[in-house]
Chains A and B, each alone.
Chain A
């Protein structure tokens, strides 16, 4: 970035290790290295997507940024100010600026609260409005997420999954937040509803200048809405690039494998699927060297001993691979036409 504007959110070397307790005395027997040193930044009004397989630690990043649990190491800066070392009470006023939308629209709304109380909660917490003004604000928020105003007197169970996700978005917008962390926010929804919510998020971003950290495993959705993409594998970022670069000419072998797994809605397209063998290694005992070396089709000796750093490989793209140029095709794998029957 050549501009001098400060990124809204800056994460440096973030680590989150969960201790594993075991044995009779409940002593620590190890750690789950859920997030193991990742860095990224998001500019104001930008969408950064965090993608990866389940279990790669992408949701943990979101929750660690929100400080829903303590961070093991690293720095988180909001507008240049460190928030990772603040106490919960010092952090509280800053929470007004960053909100979250969770994956499951059924468990993210308290079933015993009416919509008005759900959406009003952050407004009351930060003392932004009260009385009839509060009702007006809740009504405006419902307008924003395209729900009828009189919905505020209803309970969450009276709404469908997509509508509930709109309620969750309204709650996230309520305190006038700048940054919204969407933790798999559309993954639990049907395809058509998913599209509506994604469009709603993009519209809201345009209207309100929101900054989004969009955590997802759905590359098709991500391509539709993001500005930049960070690909995670086993608690590390393996590639970070803007959307067109990443989806057009992916560099890291893992990114390529992920992209080749995205279904193309055209049965005549022939392409090479990169089939990864085996499972994701356990984050309790991650592989030495490059974490991807156990499954990488281009693996060579150096990968097993030396961990590649995230470095600029041209076009403003960061990739954590020892190879400067990754071959276009994988040896011994045929080009397949899917659903060619």
Chain B
């Protein structure tokens, strides 16, 4: 029953609990998540914004990013041309917005492909010693070549296209993932809980599936986000030196490469794609950092 019915003659009634205790902060689930993992929240939000931007590029006040307008070359940023125009009169704003499609596709594709292939190779070489010796020497060989040089060489052998850029960067990244996975597998194999699983009659496939794989996901996911970020930079680098996506494709690297000649007089042509690239890479890295902390189950119940 409520406290108001209690006799109060001669006594000052005790203050109700609500008055004594500070008001409890009511947080929604989303609020709790943001409070616990601010880096994931910020990085994830920004990555989602970039993805939305790439998907809805035609609705964001853009024009055809490849449309030439020789009469309106190298215009400075204005209310018509938000980021100005390049030396062929193309709208830099539209090109930058459309360019995010290329960067994101290449970043995600490289991260996904190298994670899957690297996970597979790493698991096999972590478990089979004879394969390990051969595969890891090949991986060492690939890693001994600077990845950007390797990618340039790969591009020199093939036709310039988005798929070939993805393949070239993936080949350079696979050894990184497979070495990480192999290392994790070798440590996990020696873990007492894996030995206990063997001793309690668990079959090898189950051990790999239940005890090894789940424990490799977190480091692989974290590495994959960093590879995603570095693939975006690698794509821009390749395009910048003319070894990446074909010049007709509006990728951030291509826009910067074309603006390079006018850098000193028209810096905005280079500045905007560079800014977008930096922010995208930063947000992907933030996401990766946050996930590294959050995916450790020992930190999951952090207050």
Contact = CB atoms under 8 A, between A and B. Distances in A.
B265 interface: no
Interface residues of A, number: 33
B297 interface: yes
Interface stretch (A109-117, A209-217, A232-240, A267-275): A109-117
A33 to B, nearest CB: 21
Contacts of B297: 111-112, 155, 157
Contact of A175 (B193, B201, B215): B201
B198 interface: yes
Interface string B172-210: 000000000000000000011101111111110010001
Residue from the set B197, B199, B206 with the largest chain A CB neighbour count within 10 Å: B199
Contacts of B195: 63, 68, 100, 102
Contacts of B192: 102-104, 107-108
A68 B198 contact: yes
Given A112-B214, A112-B297, A125 B202 contact: yes
Contact of A113 (B191, B199, B210, B298): B210
B215 A99 contact: no
B211 interface: yes
B199 A107 contact: no
Contacts of A174: 200
A108 B198 CA distance: 12
Secondary structure class of chain B's binding surface, majority of residues: helix
Contacts, number: 68
A157 B201 CA distance: 24
B301 interface: yes
A126 B201 contact: yes
Interface string A68-107: 1000000000000000000000001101101110111001
A63 B190 CA distance: 12
Contacts of A157: 297-298, 301
Nearest to B214: A112
Contact of A95 (B191, B200, B215): B200
Given A155-B297, A157-B297, A110 B193 contact: yes
Given A104-B192, A108-B192, A110-B193, A99 B298 contact: no
Contact of A68 (B199, B202, B301): B199
Contacts of B201: 92-93, 95-96, 122, 125-126, 175
Given A95-B201, A125-B201, A100 B298 contact: no
Contact of A111 (B198, B200, B298, B301): B298
A15 interface: no
Nearest to A105: B192
Nearest to A93: B201
B25 to A, nearest CB: 24
Given A95-B201, A110-B197, 12 more contacts: A95-B199, A100-B199, A102-B192, A107-B193, A108-B193, A108-B196, A110-B193, A117-B210, A121-B200, A121-B202, A175-B200, A175-B201
20 contacts: A63-B195, A66-B199, A92-B201, A92-B203, A93-B201, A95-B199, A95-B200, A100-B199, A102-B195, A104-B192, A107-B193, A108-B193, A109-B193, A111-B215, A112-B297, A122-B201, A122-B202, A157-B301, A158-B301, A168-B196
Interface of A: 63, 66, 68, 92-93, 95-96, 98-100, 102-104, 107-113, 117, 121-122, 125-126, 155, 157-158, 168, 171-172, 174-175
